[in-house]
């Protein structure tokens, strides 16, 4: 009874209200639609936090279990490239944020420029990552049949790393566990890179739409939510970088 | 510092949604600068011998950077309570995931691998 009286008043006027073409009919206002979409995007990002969280937890546990192997294996990573990539990714987050601002203030060419810069910086990140990956392939540090522990059983066989860290030789049973480090390294940076590739593909699509003026006519939800995704990928790297590259520099 | 764009719809009583907030470029620029400085700081800190504090400092700097990105680049500071609650719930669940998993590992076979 109370239900029917709650719905009835105001229903005739609310049923057909004027709204812009981008507002779905089932939303009361544009703000309500924007809030609902924003909420949905964050729910998606929560599933992503849980997904990467599982990988980080695995890394945390295995690093504690096989500590010497994880320390020496991480000495193989190049801090210069890691730092450069962090700067590249942070810059791309900045250009993306500026893109959202351009869309909100209806600057079409500014938006296209920001999206193109974000796109290019994303490609630079992947380019640097591929330099790092190819080094791992050359050294047989990719987990699998061709994995080589020689750099960890006999650190002096890898003079470039040895002159910086002076690692002690590890017994074979511990040296074997460096493969686990590289497995997690490729799983985590690989999943991160996959997210970058997906993001770059969506950016390419958005650049075409933005040139036609799609996001600079008042409806910025898509750009905003893509921005959330792109910044999330940035945050994942903000934690991957110190955990994989930096924290084992002094640990011995 | 901050401007608001109204969408020209009714803002009567009982509407919980808020008007769209536009973060000005200067805020993004300052956050961008902070993130670059903190990246330098985390690399610099890794060259200093701090024992067990090396990973702790690295993670703390990471948390500060992530907080800046979430609050400003992702605009959570200016978002609805629902979004803030969602982000908080996500971080809380993530800590539960790590906490419960670690408590399980530590209390079972730690050191007997």
pLDDT of residue A16: 60
B67 and B109 share one domain: no
In chain A, which residue ranges form alpha helices assigned H by DSSP? 2-7, 11-15, 30-65, 67-74, 79-104, 108-138, 150-153, 159-165, 172-175, 178-211, 221-241
Chain B positions in Cβ-Cβ contact with residue A227 (cut-off 8 Å): 73-74
The CATH number assigned to the domain with range A51-245 reads 1.20.120.80
- Note whether B61 contacts A242, CB cutoff 8 Å: yes
pLDDT of residue A111: 97
Count of CB atoms within 10 A of residue A30's CB? 21
A169: left (phi over 0), alpha (psi -120 to 50) or beta: beta
A116 close to B (CB below 8 A): no
B10 and B45 share one domain: yes
Mean pLDDT score, A137-156: 94
B72 and B112 share one domain: no
B67 and B98 share one domain: no
B43 and B74 share one domain: yes
Chain A positions in Cβ-Cβ contact with residue B22 (cut-off 8 Å): 101, 104-105
State pLDDT tens for residues A214-231: 999 888 999 999 999 999
Which pLDDT band, with edges at 50, 70 and 90, does A45 fall under?
very high
More confident residue, B10 or A153: A153
pLDDT of residue A1: 43
B39 and B59 share one domain: yes
B41 and B69 share one domain: yes
pLDDT of residue A57: 94
Whether pLDDT at A116 is above 70: yes
Whether pLDDT at A5 is above 60: no
B57 and B7 share one domain: yes
pTM over 0.90: no
Count of CB atoms within 10 A of residue A50's CB? 13
- Note whether B97 contacts A83, CB cutoff 8 Å: no
More confident residue, B59 or A17: B59
Mean pLDDT score, A59-64: 92
> Rounded distance, CA A159 to CA B94, Å?
41
B66 and B85 share one domain: no
> Rounded distance, CA A53 to CA A55, Å?
5
| A contact residues 225-244, partner B, Cβ 8 Å cutoff | 227-228, 231-232, 234-235, 238-239, 241-243
Radius of gyration over every alpha carbon of chain B, rounded to an integer in angstroms = 20
Mean pLDDT score, A95-104: 96
pLDDT of residue A102: 96
Whether pLDDT at B11 is above 70: no
Mean pLDDT score, A202-207: 97
Whether pLDDT at B15 is above 80: no
Mean pLDDT score, A40-60: 95
- Note whether B62 contacts A239, CB cutoff 8 Å: yes
Whether pLDDT at B8 is above 50: no
Which pLDDT band, with edges at 50, 70 and 90, does B12 fall under?
very low
Q: Which of B74, B75, B89, B95 to mutate to test the interface with A (most CBs of A within 10 A)?
A: B74
Of B22, B54, B75, the CB nearest to A247: B54
| A contact residues 16-45, partner B, Cβ 8 Å cutoff | 28-32, 34-35, 38-39, 42-43, 45
B57 and B86 share one domain: no
Distances A18 to A13, A23, A26, A172, B102 between C-alpha atoms, Å: 10, 10, 12, 73, 55
State pLDDT tens for residues B49-78: 988 899 999 999 999 999 999 999 999 999
User: For chain A, what are the domain ranges?
Assistant: 51-245
How much is the mean pLDDT over chain A? 91
pLDDT of residue B112: 65
* pLDDT > 90 in chain B, percent: 64
Count of CB atoms within 10 A of residue A146's CB? 9
Could you list the residue range(s) of the whole structural domain that residue B88 is in?
A: 80-113
Count of CB atoms within 10 A of residue B3's CB? 11
B74 and B84 share one domain: no
The CA-CA-CA angle for residues B12, B18, B24, to 5°, reads: 140
Chain B positions in Cβ-Cβ contact with residue A32 (cut-off 8 Å): 15, 17
pLDDT of residue A251: 63
* pLDDT > 70 in chain B, percent: 81
C-alpha distance from B22 to closest chain A C-alpha (Å)? 7
Which pLDDT band, with edges at 50, 70 and 90, does A24 fall under?
confident
| Closest chain B residue to the Cα of A95, Cα to Cα | B28
Mean pLDDT score, A16-38: 82
B67 and B111 share one domain: no
Specify the number of domains making up chain B.
2
pLDDT of residue B10: 44
| Closest chain B residue to the Cα of A18, Cα to Cα | B9
B9: left (phi over 0), alpha (psi -120 to 50) or beta: beta
pLDDT of residue B113: 56
- Note whether A29 contacts B17, CB cutoff 8 Å: yes
pLDDT of residue A138: 95
């Amino acid at each position: 009874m109370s239900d029917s009286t709650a719905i009835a008043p105001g229903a005739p006027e609310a049923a057909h209200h004027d709204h812009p073409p981008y507002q779905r009919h089932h939303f009361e206002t544009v703000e309500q639609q924007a809030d609902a979409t924003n909420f949905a995007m964050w729910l998606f990002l929560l599933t992503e936090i849980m997904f990467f969280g599982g990988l980080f937890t695995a890394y945390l546990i295995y690093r504690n279990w096989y500590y010497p192997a994880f320390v020496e294996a991480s000495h193989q990573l190049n801090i210069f490239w890691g730092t450069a990539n962090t700067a590249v990714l942070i810059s791309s987050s900045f250009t993306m944020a500026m893109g959202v601002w351009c869309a909100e203030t209806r600057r079409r060419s500014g938006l296209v420029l920001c999206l193109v810069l974000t796109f290019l910086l994303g490609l630079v990140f992947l380019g640097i990552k591929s330099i790092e990956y190819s080094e791992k392939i050359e050294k047989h540090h990719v987990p699998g049949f061709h994995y080589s522990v020689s750099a960890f059983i006999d650190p002096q066989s890898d003079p470039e790393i040895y002159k910086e860290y002076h690692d002690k030789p590890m017994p074979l049973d511990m040296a074997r566990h460096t493969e686990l480090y590289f497995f997690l390294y490729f799983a985590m940076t690989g999943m991160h890179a996959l997210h970058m590739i997906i993001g770059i593909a969506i950016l390419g699509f958005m650049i075409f739409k933005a040139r036609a003026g799609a996001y600079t006519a008042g409806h910025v939800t898509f750009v905003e939510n893509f921005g959330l995704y792109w910044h999330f990928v940035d945050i994942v790297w903000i934690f991957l970088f110190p955990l994989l590259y930096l924290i084992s520099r002094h640990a011995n | 510092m901050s401007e608001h764009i109204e969408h020209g719809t009714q803002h009567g009583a009982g509407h919980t949604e808020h008007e769209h907030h536009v973060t000005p470029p200067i805020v993004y620029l300052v956050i961008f600068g902070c993130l670059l400085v903190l990246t330098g700081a985390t690399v610099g800190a890794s060259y200093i011998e701090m024992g067990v504090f090396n990973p702790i400092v690295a993670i703390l700097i990471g948390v500060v950077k992530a907080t800046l990105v979430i609050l400003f680049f992702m605009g959570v500071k200016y978002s609805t309570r629902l979004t803030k609650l969602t982000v908080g719930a996500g971080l809380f669940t993530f800590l539960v995931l790590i906490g419960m998993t670690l408590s399980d590992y530590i209390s079972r076979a730690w050191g007997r691998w």
